[in-house]
Structures are given as structure tokens and as C-alpha cells.
Amino acid sequence: MIKFHARKPVRDFLNKVTEPPYSLPIDEHNQCFESILERYEESTNKERQNFLCTDVFDLLRAFIEEDKAINRKDPKDTHRYSASEISLMLSGLIAAANQYGVRLPESEIKRYEKVDFGICSFAQFVRDIYQPIEPIQAKKEIAPIPANDINQQAAPADTSKPATDGGNTPPPPENDDDPNNIFNACIIDEYRQHAKTIRKGLEVALKGKQTAYIVKTFAACCLEPHAILKKCPTYKEAQEINNQTIGISQGYNARKREIFEKDDNGIYTEPKESFWNDESVFVQQIVKQLKPIFGMLGIKIKGI
């Protein structure tokens, strides 16, 4: 039970994720998010900013407590799940408030310069959210790339490069230190020669993340115009990338079924439309965090 004061919807969310089962289904997480955001929709910008400063402070305080309590030697420590749920709520709330035209003031952001938020300080994390991002289109809205365009992608004089390379010349093939790695089967053929870069990049991006975040990241990697994966990895394939926090196979497969559609062969190849509709802001944040991988592959997304 959360012992400090917070707005009721924030407190309700924190109580849910700091008690069993510690990790929420997508729909329940979204319900909590909508409850927290409800007052923002009914308020003035000044009130929204006050709500945002208070809610972020309370959520971040809970995140710090959970993060400090993690047993780093135990990949299934429940505090990992709680911290991950809270970090997702923080990023979603800040991004959603930004869409209302409300941001944390710089004086507030500076308070968090030394607060560790995983890959960077929380202050830097907030500033990254506030950087302009061009909306990413769902996969079904992108026209297929003709095969002859793909084959000619590396040609310097080619003007019909696919949208994913941003006009950059793709990097030369690399020597894969593990060419038989089963995760390679998930990589789009066009990028298979860079399997090592993709595997290592995802390993870094998913370090310390829980199952729900991992599956959502794989879904984001299947969306055009930055698709590098052609299917959701099976549980065994996913373990090649992150075998410490991915949890048990039942949990992973349940998340996969929530997010992905099956093709005619029973393979989970394409994220559901509901995933894009419900998680578009979150997808944009994942894409931003995967920027180093995309840059190494010659993929450039405007605005990131």
C-alpha cells in the first residue's frame, strides 16, 4: 500500500502495481492512465500544469523506491515489474499532457537532473519526450516496396530508395559472430546481414525491461516505415535477446496474443490495429530509444 499522499487515481494505480501481481494487462494499464488523465481534460492549462507537476513527482517518487528495492541478482524480482509499470505511466502521462500543450516547466525538470531513470537522467528523459517527433504511420498505411527497389537500394544513383533508409547509404555487411542464432529468423531479409547489430542493439534497449515492454518493442520493430523484424519472436527466440527479465513462456505468449495478429500459417507477424491505436505515443518513445540501431542500419526517421 502506498503510504504517501497522491491524487486518488495515481494512488490507485500505484497500489495496483506495488501489490501482486505487480504487472497489469494492457487494458487495465490503459484504464488507469485514462483515470489519471481525466482531470486534465476538464481543466485549464494552469491547472493541468499543476496536476502534471504533482503527478510526475508522486509517480517518480514511487519509481525511485521500487528501483532501489530491486534485487539486481534476481531477474524475476517483483520490484522490477512495479518500476517498469510506473516508468510506462510516467512516459505516457508526460507525452499526453504535451499533446494538450502542457509541459513540465524547465525549473521543475532541473530538479531531476541527478535522478537516474535507467538509460539517462529523468530530466533528460523528459527533454527527449519534448523533442518534436513526426507521427509514425501504421504498417497497413504504407505501400509495399517493389522488389526491384529493394534490390537497388545500395546503388548510389538510385532515386527509388525505400522510405526506411532516409537516402543514406546502407552500412557494409558485418561479420556475425553468431550466424546460427535462432533470433535471426525474425529479422527482415533486407537487414539480415546486420543481424549482429540488431541483436546487440535490442539487447541493450531491453535490458532490465519486463515482458510487456519487450513484446511491445518487438511490435514497434514490425511497424513500417522502420520495420526491422518480420514477426514477433517466439519465446525461445526472444530469450536470445533478453533471458533475464522476459519471465515465463505463458506470460510472454499471452502478451504476444494480445498485441499480434496471426497470419495464415499461424505465425504472429503483424501488430493488431488496436495496438497502434492505443499505444501510438508509446511506440514513438520506443522508436526514439531504438534510434542507435536505426542509425547503424541507415534508417532515418524525420524528427527523431
Per-residue model confidence (pLDDT) at position 200 = 84
The 3-state secondary structure of the chain, one letter per residue: CCCCCCCHHHHHHHHHHCCCCCCCCHHHHHHHHHHHHHHHHCCCHHHHHHHHHHHHHHHHHHHHHHHHHCCCCCCCCHHHHHHHHHHHHHHHHHHHHHHCCCCCCHHHHHHHCCCECCCCEHHHHHHHHHCCCCCCCCHHHCCCCCHHHHHCCCCCCCCCCCHHHCCCCCCCCCCCCCCCCHHHHHECHHHHHHHHHHHHHHHHHCCCCCHHHHHHHHHHCCCCCCCCECCCCCHHHHHCCCCCCCCCHHHHHHHHHHHEEECCCCCEEEECHHHHHHHHHHHHHHHHHCHHHHHHCCCCCCCC
- Read off the pLDDT of residues 210-267 as tens digits, 9 standing for 90 and up: 788 899 999 999 988 889 999 999 999 999 888 766 777 888 898 899 899 998 888 9
- Read off the pLDDT of residues 64-104 as tens digits, 9 standing for 90 and up: 999 899 887 786 788 888 888 888 788 888 888 887 889 99
Per-residue model confidence (pLDDT) at position 171 = 52
The span from the CA of 127 to the CA of 107, in Å, is 12
**Is residue 165 over pLDDT 50?**
no
The span from the CA of 256 to the CA of 149, in Å, is 32
pLDDT-based confidence at residue 302 (cuts at 50, 70, 90): low
The span from the CA of 282 to the CA of 296, in Å, is 22
Mean pLDDT, the chain, whole residue set: 79
Question: What number of residues does the chain have?
Answer: 304
The domain ranges of the chain are 8-130, 139-296
pTM over 0.85: no
Per-residue model confidence (pLDDT) at position 162 = 40
Distance of CA 283 to the CA centre of its chain: 5
- Listed in sequence order, the residues at least 6 apart from 152 whose beta carbon sits closer than 8 Å to its beta carbon are 158, 160
Chain position carrying cell 496474443:
257
Distance of CA 261 to the CA centre of its chain: 19
Cross-strand bridge partners of residue 143: none
The dihedral sign for the CA sequence 303, 272, 200, 182? negative
**Is residue 173 over pLDDT 80?**
no
